[in-house]
Amino acid sequence: MGEDIWPRLAEYYEKTKDTPLVERFNQDKERFRHFSVPLDDMLLDYSKTSLDEASRELLLELAQTQGLEDKRDAMFKGERVNRTEDRAALHTALRNRSDEPVFVDNTDVMPCIHATLKRMAEFSDGIRNGTIAAYDGAAFTDVVNIGIGGSDLGPAMATRALSPYRDGPRMHFVSNVDGAEISDLLEQLNPKRTLFIIASKTFTTIETMTNAATAKEWLSAGIEENAAEYFAAVSTAFEKTTDFGIPPDRVFGFEDWVGGRYSVWGPIGLSLMIAIGPEQFVEFLEGGHEMDQHFRTAPLKENMPVMLGLIGIWHNNICGYESRAVLPYDQRLARLPAYLQQLDMESNGKTVALNGKVVERHTGPIVWGEPGTNGQHAFYQLLHQGSRIIPCEFLVAAQSHEDKLPQHHQLLLASCLAQSEALMRGRTGEEVAEKLIVTGPTGEELDLTAHKAFPGNRPSTTLIYRKLTPRTLGRIIALYEHRVFVEGAIWGINSFDQWGVELGKELAACLLPLIGTETGCEEKGGSTLGLLQTIARLRRE
């Protein structure tokens, strides 16, 4: 299905690729309106890409022939779209704010979701108002979320993004098994005023459980009571949480049809709820639900996730651009690029299609980025004049939370718009006012005109929104989740498994007993043997 459209797209691109982006605006004075998607107080502008009416229609035809709409509907209905693990993928149910039931195996899961959300709200309120307190009756001043991957990136990113709405205890996140991270954090905390949330579905994730054990030892040394009472857990392994000593009423579980990188909407978001409060957390869910409804009902051409996904297909598979830069001109979204790295690359970094055959074209691109003007003074040189073209995805709010610093936000907005325009427009040698001749250290005259020229025609999109509120953040995250789904559906891959992370875990478990030894590891051979022996020598010396 759709195989005849791929060569048609490639052929059309070859015919039109040399048309400058500036010329496309000259040809269509309404290009901005024709190539943007509004949704309430958000707008996705993709007019500064090489898409035109014909290529867009081909992409929409590709989406339809690949069964995008049917696959989308199957996901929302709770069908087992995660076929390699024989599971549904129903993270959308966690943020379902309608009265509609959501069924998995003929069971409506919404009552359970509502009950868990209520328990989370009661616990969060207790921590925030001090009714759930330390042994001496004092309120917890700090909460530490211990998790990794989706159990860390989502709540850590969202908590930072919504810092203007934080009115709970101080929130901290530990993920790396490197002892430096937890050691540096614990030095700043008072064990008698610190609550830990262990976020691990299986309660076996080695990095998380190693950090949890360290936290428990630290608490035991710093308080006279049972350290386990200073813990809560987000896990479905109730026997293991009981063995750890965590009371059952402080354990929050979620189903296997919620993948880790899609889980911030439920119990994994407990730390976010404690930080901003249950009411604001519901606003966050409302935003995600609004994007879900838009994705389900809007015509493909007017559908923000669909068009963002099709732009990704165009750039990756047709234009041959291997990566995309996520550039939020919003400092509080500093962790969004890292969050999207996992969401996109763990979901769509696949070489095998659902039919078990090797895919015929590239799938997930490399996703990276940094916030705002910091990036301008770091890697934008490569974006503007490098030999590779990297599509850029700008995000910016029209309004700032810092009302007393209006000049800062005006400069931020101007910088964002200027960068996307410069990438598109470029600057030819003829546009450089005059020959720029300098004398080098050897006396040789150098013409800098070519060095100061910019090729232009570098594509970008811009997502603009009124203000970074909980509702807006919910819509942004759901937008990118569905974008990942759109691309995966068109490639015919499973965006909901992650078998590629397993081998390294297995090998690490085998190597752990060999660290620091010089015998018993000979079977490893080659580089690994040499590295093990070097580690043993350096630890011995």
Least confident span in 92-96, 229-233, 453-457, 521-525:
521-525
Per-residue model confidence (pLDDT) at position 227:
84
Quick check: is 286 catalytic? no
Query: Distance between CA atoms of 507 and 512, rounded to whole angstroms?
Result: 9
Mean pLDDT of 156-181: 97
Per DSSP, 358 falls in state B
Banded pLDDT at 315 (limits 50, 70, 90) = very high
CA of residue 247 relative to chain centroid, distance? 32
Banded pLDDT at 1 (limits 50, 70, 90) = low
Per DSSP, 269 falls in state G
All residues at 6 or more sequence positions from 292 whose CB lies less than 8 Å from its CB, including other chains: 76, 92, 95, 96, 478, 482
Query: Distance between CA atoms of 34 and 37, rounded to whole angstroms?
Result: 8
Nearest by Cα to 275 from 371, 175, 144, 152 = 144
Q: Catalytic pick from 360, 402, 505, 522?
A: 505
Query: Distance between CA atoms of 8 and 24, rounded to whole angstroms?
Result: 21
Extract the runs of DSSP E, i.e. beta strands, from 168-320.
170-174, 194-199, 231-234, 251-252
All residues at 6 or more sequence positions from 92 whose CB lies less than 8 Å from its CB, including other chains: 75, 76, 288, 289, 292, 478
The chain-wide mean pLDDT, for the chain, equals: 94
- State pLDDT tens for residues 331-345: 999 999 999 999 999
Q: Catalytic pick from 187, 224, 377, 430?
A: 377
Mean pLDDT of 74-103: 96
Say how many CA atoms lie within 13 Å of 170 toward its Cβ.
Answer: 9
- State pLDDT tens for residues 395-447: 999 999 998 999 999 999 999 999 999 999 998 877 776 666 666 666 666 67
Mean pLDDT of 72-94: 96
Per-residue model confidence (pLDDT) at position 437:
64
Q: Does residue 94 contact residue 258 with C-beta atoms inside 8 Å? A: yes
Banded pLDDT at 541 (limits 50, 70, 90) = confident
End-to-end, the C-alpha distance of the chain in Å comes to: 63
Mean pLDDT of 462-485: 98
Nearest by Cα to 103 from 95, 118, 93, 115 = 93
Least confident span in 24-38, 56-70, 455-469, 517-531:
517-531
CATH superfamily of 103-281: Glucose-6-phosphate isomerase like protein; domain 1 (3.40.50.10490)
Q: DSSP for 368-394?
A: E---HHHHHTTTHHHHHHSSS---EEE
Per-residue model confidence (pLDDT) at position 330:
96
C-beta atoms surrounding 84 within 10 Å: 14
Nearest by Cα to 362 from 316, 314, 319 = 316
pLDDT reading at 5 higher than 90: yes
- State pLDDT tens for residues 357-404: 999 999 999 999 999 889 999 999 999 999 999 999 999 999 999 989
If one looks up domain 5-65+298-425+459-497 in CATH, what number appears?
A: 3.40.50.10490
Per the structure block, which two tokens stand in for 176? 């790396």
Rounded to 5 degrees, what are φ and ψ at 461?
A: -120, 160
Per-residue model confidence (pLDDT) at position 515:
87
C-beta atoms surrounding 368 within 10 Å: 17
C-beta atoms surrounding 526 within 10 Å: 7
Query: Distance between CA atoms of 104 and 116, rounded to whole angstroms?
Result: 17
Least confident span in 54-58, 215-219, 505-509:
505-509
3-state secondary structure of 247: coil
> Of how many residues is the chain composed?
541
pLDDT reading at 192 higher than 90: yes
Q: Torsion over CA of 309, 311, 314 and 317, rounded to 10 degrees?
A: -40
Query: Rounded to whole angstroms, what are the CA distances from 484 to 116, 117, 286, 290, 310?
Result: 27, 26, 20, 17, 10
- State pLDDT tens for residues 9-36: 999 999 999 999 999 999 999 999 999 9
Per the structure block, which two tokens stand in for 463? 């997502």
Q: Most distant CA pair in the chain: distance in Å?
A: 82
Quick check: is 57 catalytic? no
Quick check: is 240 catalytic? no
Query: Distance between CA atoms of 66 and 69, rounded to whole angstroms?
Result: 9
Per the structure block, which two tokens stand in for 17? 């690729």
Rounded to 5 degrees, what are φ and ψ at 191?
A: -60, -25
Rounded to 5 degrees, what are φ and ψ at 245?
A: 105, 10
Q: List, in sequence order, every residue forming a beta bridge with 394; answer none if it has no partner.
A: 327, 462
pLDDT reading at 509 higher than 60: yes
Nearest by Cα to 103 from 91, 115, 84, 90 = 90
Mean pLDDT of 57-80: 97
Q: Catalytic pick from 290, 346, 481, 487?
A: 346
Query: Distance between CA atoms of 150 and 163, rounded to whole angstroms?
Result: 20
Q: Does residue 241 contact residue 235 with C-beta atoms inside 8 Å? A: yes
pLDDT reading at 151 higher than 60: yes
Residue with tokens 């470029």: 426
Say how many CA atoms lie within 13 Å of 199 toward its Cβ.
Answer: 30
Per-residue model confidence (pLDDT) at position 277:
98
